[in-house]
Chains A and B, each alone.
Chain A
Amino acid sequence: AQTVTQSQPEMSVQEAETVTLSCTYDTSESDYYLFWYKQPPSRQMILVIRQEAYKQQNATENRFSVNFQKAAKSFSLKISDSQLGDAAMYFCAYRSATDSWGKFQFGAGTQVVVTP
Chain B
Amino acid sequence: KAGVTQTPRYLIKTRGQQVTLSCSPISGHRSVSWYQQTPGQGLQFLFEYFSETQRNKGNFPGRFSGRQFSNSRSEMNVSTLELGDSALYLCASSLRGEMNTEAFFGQGTRLTVV
Chains A and B bind each other: yes
**Given the complex, which residues of A lie within 8 Å of B43, measured CB to CB?**
91, 104, 106
Say yes or no: B105 contacts A108, CB within 8 Å.
no
Interface-lining segment among A12-20, A37-45, A62-70, A74-82: A37-45
- Distance from A71 Cβ to chain B, minimum over Cβ atoms (Å): 22
Q: Specify which chain A residues have a CB less than 8 angstroms from the CB of B56 in the assembled complex.
A: 99-100, 102-103
Given A44-B105, A44-B106, A45-B90; A102-B99 close (CB under 8 Å) = no
B81 in contact (CB, < 8 A): no
Whether the Cβ atoms of B42 and A108 lie closer than 8 Å is yes
**Chain B residues with Cβ under 8 A from A44's Cβ?**
3, 105-108
State whether the Cβ of B31 lies closer than 8 Å to any Cβ in chain A: yes
Docked complex: A36-54 residues within 8 A CB-CB of B: 37, 42-47, 50, 52
Nearest-CB distance from A23 to chain B (Å)?
Answer: 13
User: By CB atoms of chain B within 10 A, which of A47, A95, A99, A101 has the most?
Assistant: A101
Residues of B within 8 A of A99 (CB): 56
- Do residues B48 and A100 form an inter-chain contact, with CB atoms below 8 A? yes
Cross-chain contact B42 with A106 (CB below 8 angstroms): yes
Bound together, the chains give a CA A44 to CA B43 distance in angstroms of 13
Q: Shortest CB–CB separation between residue A99 and chain B, in angstroms?
A: 7
Task: Decide yes or no whether B55 CB sits under 8 A from chain A.
Answer: yes
> C-beta contact mask, B20-53 vs A, less than 8 Å → 1, else 0?
0000000000011101000000110100101000
Report yes or no: A45 in contact with B48, Cβ–Cβ below 8 A.
no
Q: Which partner residue on chain A sits nearest B96 by CB separation?
A: A101
Give the CA-CA distance A91 to B88 in the complex, in Å: 15
Q: Mark B50-63, 1 if CB is under 8 A from A, else 0.
A: 10000110100000
